Chains A and B, each alone.
Chain A
Amino acid sequence: AQRVTQPEKLLSVFKGAPVELKCNYSYSGSPELFWYVQYSRQRLQLLLRHISRESIKGFTADLNKGETSFHLKKPFAQEEDSAMYYCALSPTSGSRLTFGEGTQLTVNP
């Protein structure tokens, strides 16, 4: 069975501080990992995926297969980063996504 765990439901940081949103997963194979973001009153949208190895809006995420983690990081948080962040796993490209419960990030001025 596949499972995604986001241990922090709420995370609050000050503007300019580093931020790390934790994600751990359990899956026996080599899944695809994603981070989705939902800003207030907007639809869920893809932030980044592990196979792209890119930085979006200053966020990066590294897949650590040994620790089965896919933590999301940003060195300097901005107020506009305040949103709900979901980590998700897909066993194969295009198949179902399993989401974590989400972390509500608040960046204070």
Chain B
Amino acid sequence: DTGVSQDPRHKITKRGQNVTFRCDPISEHNRLYWYRQTLGQGPEFLTYFQNEAQLEKSRLLSDRFSAERPKGSFSTLEIQRTEQGDSAMYLCASSSPGTSPYTFGSGTRLTVV
């Protein structure tokens, strides 16, 4: 499968725990994006990388959230001290240089109990 892959598909965690998600983009795509989607809403932008550089972060990305893309390939999104409001689908997408159409992954569904 040469698409965008995300791991895990589902994560259930207790409030206050830390969680980390991984995204592997399409290999030739240098841009990688993270979005969050809650029930009944469209995806909301969190952050994006061009290669290993984090170019933009949304105000939605509180201090408890951190994203990395250390070698310009896969990316991780970590949420520290999870809260119930963090329960959502976390989507990753990638794109080629200078093109808008993203390829989305299947997402990681986080449930904080």
| B-binding residues in A (CB < 8 A) | 4, 9, 32, 34, 43-46, 49, 86, 88, 90, 93-102
Q: Is the CB of B98 within 8 A of A94?
A: yes
The verdict on B101 contacting chain A, using a C-beta distance below 8 Å, is yes
For the complex, give the distance between the alpha carbons of A88 and B95 in Å. 16
Task: Sort chain B's interface into a size bin.
Answer: 20 to 34
Given contacts A43-B106, A43-B107, A96-B48, A101 and B100 within 8 Å (CB-CB): no
Q: Does B43 contact A (CB under 8 A)?
A: yes
**The 9 nearest A-B residue pairs measured at CB:** A99-B42, A44-B104, A96-B45, A46-B101, A43-B106, A93-B100, A90-B100, A99-B43, A43-B104
A34/B100 in contact, CB under 8 A: yes
**Contact of B91 with A by CB under 8 A:** yes
Given the interface pairs A96-B48, A96-B56, the reply to whether A44 lies near B43 with Cβ below 8 Å is: yes
Known: A94-B98, A101-B40. 8 other contacts (CB 8 A): A34-B100, A43-B105, A94-B31, A94-B97, A96-B45, A97-B45, A97-B102, A100-B42
Please give the residue numbers on chain B whose beta carbons come within 8 Å of chain A beta carbons, in ascending order.
3, 31, 33, 35, 40-45, 48, 56, 58, 91, 95, 97-102, 104-107
Q: Is the CB of A96 within 8 A of B43?
A: no
- Could you say which residues of chain A place their CB within 8 Å of the CB of B99? 93-94
Contact B101 A102 (CB under 8 A): no
